[in-house]
Chain A
Amino acid sequence: MSKLLTFLPLLIELNQKEKRAIGIIAAIVLCVFLLLGLLVRLLLAVKDRKGRKIDEYMYDLVQYNLITTPVQFRSYVFRRESKNLYLFNRWYIRILILTGIGLSLYVWLVLKGDFSVILQIAKEFFPVITWPTTEMFGIQLISDWPQLAQRPIIHPDLNGFITYVAMLVTLIVSIKLICSAFVYYAKIDRSNKMSSKAFGKNLDNLANGGGQLHGFD
Chain B
Amino acid sequence: MGALLKTVGYGFLLVVLSPLIVLALALLVIYIILDYLILELVSIPMFFKGKSFKHDDALTLKLKEKIANAKAYQEMKEAQVNAYQQSLVTPSPIPTSTIPPTPDSTTHSSSPEVSEVNAEDVTKDLDDHGGNNNE
Q: Do A and B bind each other?
A: yes
Select the stretch in A82-90, A121-129, A131-139, A148-156 that faces chain B.
Answer: A82-90
With A75-B126, A79-B129, A89-B36 already in contact, the answer to whether A64 and B70 are too (CB < 8 A) is: yes
Select the stretch in B2-10, B81-89, B92-100 that faces chain A.
Answer: B2-10
Using a CB–CB cutoff of 8 Å, the interface residues on chain A facing chain B are 30, 32-41, 50, 53-54, 56-57, 60-61, 64-69, 72, 75-76, 79-90, 93, 174, 177-178, 180-185
Q: Are A86 and B14 in contact (CB under 8 A)?
A: no
Contact of A34 among B11, B54, B67, B127 (CB under 8 A): B11
Confirm or deny: B46 has a beta carbon within 8 angstroms of a beta carbon on chain A.
no
A96 CB to closest chain B CB (Å) equals: 9
Q: Are A33 and B15 in contact (CB under 8 A)?
A: yes
Contact of B14 among A39, A60, A182 (CB under 8 A): A39
Which residues of B lie under 8 Å from residue A53 when comparing CB positions?
A: 134-135
Q: Is the interface of B mostly helix, strand, loop or mixed?
A: helix
**Chain B 106-135 near chain A by CB (<8 Å), digits 1 or 0:** 000000000001010111001101111111
Q: Are B54 and A85 in contact (CB under 8 A)?
A: no
Using a CB–CB cutoff of 8 Å, the interface residues on chain B facing chain A are 4, 6-15, 24-25, 28-29, 31-33, 35-36, 39-40, 53-54, 66-67, 70-71, 73-74, 117, 119, 121-123, 126-127, 129-135
Contact of B8 among A33, A79, A80 (CB under 8 A): A33
With A75-B123, A75-B126, A181-B31 given, can you name 10 additional A-B contacts, CB distance below 8 Å? Answer: A33-B12, A37-B12, A38-B7, A38-B11, A56-B134, A57-B132, A64-B117, A83-B39, A84-B132, A93-B33
Number of A-B pairs, beta carbon distance below 8 Å:
136
Which residues of B lie under 8 Å from residue A50 when comparing CB positions?
A: 135
Q: Are A80 and B126 in contact (CB under 8 A)?
A: yes
**Nearest chain-A residue to B15 (Cβ)?**
A36
Which residues of B lie under 8 Å from residue A88 when comparing CB positions?
A: 133, 135
Contact sample, A vs B, 7 pairs, CB 8 Å cutoff:
A39-B14, A41-B10, A65-B117, A76-B126, A83-B53, A174-B29, A184-B28
Q: Are A60 and B11 in contact (CB under 8 A)?
A: no
Q: Are B119 and A68 in contact (CB under 8 A)?
A: yes
With A80-B131, A90-B40 already in contact, the answer to whether A36 and B32 are too (CB < 8 A) is: no
**Nearest chain-A residue to B27 (Cβ)?**
A181
In the docked arrangement, what's the CA distance between A162 and B61, Å? 46
Q: Are B7 and A34 in contact (CB under 8 A)?
A: yes
Which residues of A lie under 8 Å from residue B53 when comparing CB positions?
A: 83, 86-87
Nearest 6 Cβ contacts at the A-B interface:
A37-B11, A36-B11, A33-B11, A181-B28, A37-B7, A64-B70
Q: Are B133 and A180 in contact (CB under 8 A)?
A: no
With A37-B10, A84-B134 already in contact, the answer to whether A66 and B70 are too (CB < 8 A) is: yes
